[in-house]
Structure 1
Amino acid sequence: MLTTANVLPPIAPCVIALVVAAASTDLQCRRIPNPLVGAGLFGALLVQCWLKGIGAGAMAWLTGAVVGLALFLPFYLVRGMAAGDVKLLAMVGAWIGPLLVFYAALATCVIGGAWMLVLIVRRHQLGKVWANLRVIAHPALQGSGSARDSIDSVGSVPYGVAIAAGTIAVLLTASA
């Protein structure tokens, strides 16, 4: 269960500002800047250490970042997501911790999946999606470089927007 104790007052506004900045640059430039993510990670470390003490704060920062990174890294490895999106969720995790970043990733996947499904249907590319999923799902094809290279993109979305929406939804739910 999400509780207000999980998101202390200085954390939610900082995270919201960071994910909104990331989403806006992702919308405009189709990338999430490393300096923004780096500053967010550094700020999260400072705030976590200030709120919880150096040892506990550093551990909270590290576990949240690692969980955030681990949740989206598989999508990056199968070319389903850009590295900036993975790093952004790691930064979110550094701020809000492993449990809430799990919920934020789940909300992000629901929001981003629904958004992508609407775009795929509107672009009439459902057949391409099924062909790509067959290549990804068949273990015999995964070892073949030519099969992997046959994956044809059905388009992309600035997923930083979905990460921002999922994170904000979780933060608002946690503080309600």
Structure 2
Amino acid sequence: MEKVILVVVLFICLFTDIKSRKILNIVTLPTIFTGLIYHIIINGNKGLLFSGKGFLVGLGLLIIPYLLGGMGAGDVKLMAAIGALMGPSFVFYSFIYTALIGGVIALLLIFKTRGFINTIKSFFFNLTNLVFFRSNLGSMIIPKDKKSSISFPYGVAIVLGTLSTLIWGGF
């Protein structure tokens, strides 16, 4: 039952995140409550603990990147909803798959936008600065230029990571 709800929620979030770059509260909040209520009905207090831990793990995994401005609140709530519905270990494995998939997507976008050679040059330039001038790193910080930043709807990575967990399970 919870797997069917999860897949439906994931595809709705995938569609809205690609279309409007938003993961809607009208999807995530009811999913959180459904997960909590479902597990309470099935397993009582143990179900509440299971779902509550999943919610907290899902929330905790993405709250720092959100607070640092690296992602939207909808991404955090989606991961919390996945945790409330599927439990703490499932959401943790989903997070691992999500991070790996998100990293691959980010690299592909960087290569596509900036070109492979420029990306490699930039990597080695930054690595050289780090190795040889590590005591002077504070002065090397360059203000972020919004035009040069690359972003993508991270909900795509969350959906693919969670579906990977559904298909292959944990490690």
Could you state the TM-score of these two structures normalised by the residue count of structure 1? Answer: 0.78
| 1:63-142 paired onto structure 2 within 5 Å | 63-124=53-114, 126=119, 127=122
Q: Name the residue aligned to 1:7.
A: none
CA deviation map 1:32-86 (0-9, x unaligned): 0111111111111121112212x12221111101000111111112221111111
Q: Name the residue aligned to 1:23.
A: 14
Q: Check if 1:173 corresponds to 2:168.
A: yes
Aligned equivalents of 1:94, 1:110: Cα separation in 2 = 22
| 1:37-56 paired onto structure 2 within 5 Å | 37-53=28-44, 55-56=45-46
CA deviation map 1:115-162 (0-9, x unaligned): 01100111007449x98xx9xxx9x86xxxxx79x2234221111111
Q: Relative CO higher for 1 or 2, CA cutoff 8 Å, sep ≥ 6?
A: 1
Aligned equivalents of 2:4, 2:169: Cα separation in 1 = 13
Unmatched 5+ stretches in structure 1: 1-9, 142-146
Question: What amino acid sits opposite 2:80 in the alignment?
Answer: A
Q: Check if 1:62 corresponds to 2:52.
A: yes
Aligned equivalents of 2:102, 2:4: Cα separation in 1 = 23
Unmatched 5+ stretches in structure 2: none
Q: % of aligned pairs identical?
A: 33
What SS does the aligned partner of 1:31 have?
A: coil
Could you state the TM-score of these two structures normalised by the residue count of structure 2? Answer: 0.80
Q: Name the residue aligned to 1:151.
A: 144
Question: What amino acid sits opposite 1:106 in the alignment?
Answer: I
Aligned equivalents of 2:10, 2:37: Cα separation in 1 = 18
Structure with bigger gyration radius: 2
Q: Which among 157, 161, 164 is matched to residue 159 of structure 2?
A: 164
Aligned equivalents of 2:93, 2:169: Cα separation in 1 = 10
CA deviation map 1:77-129 (0-9, x unaligned): 2221111111110110111111111100000011111001100111007449x
**How many residues were matched structurally?**
152
Question: What amino acid sits opposite 1:161 in the alignment?
Answer: V
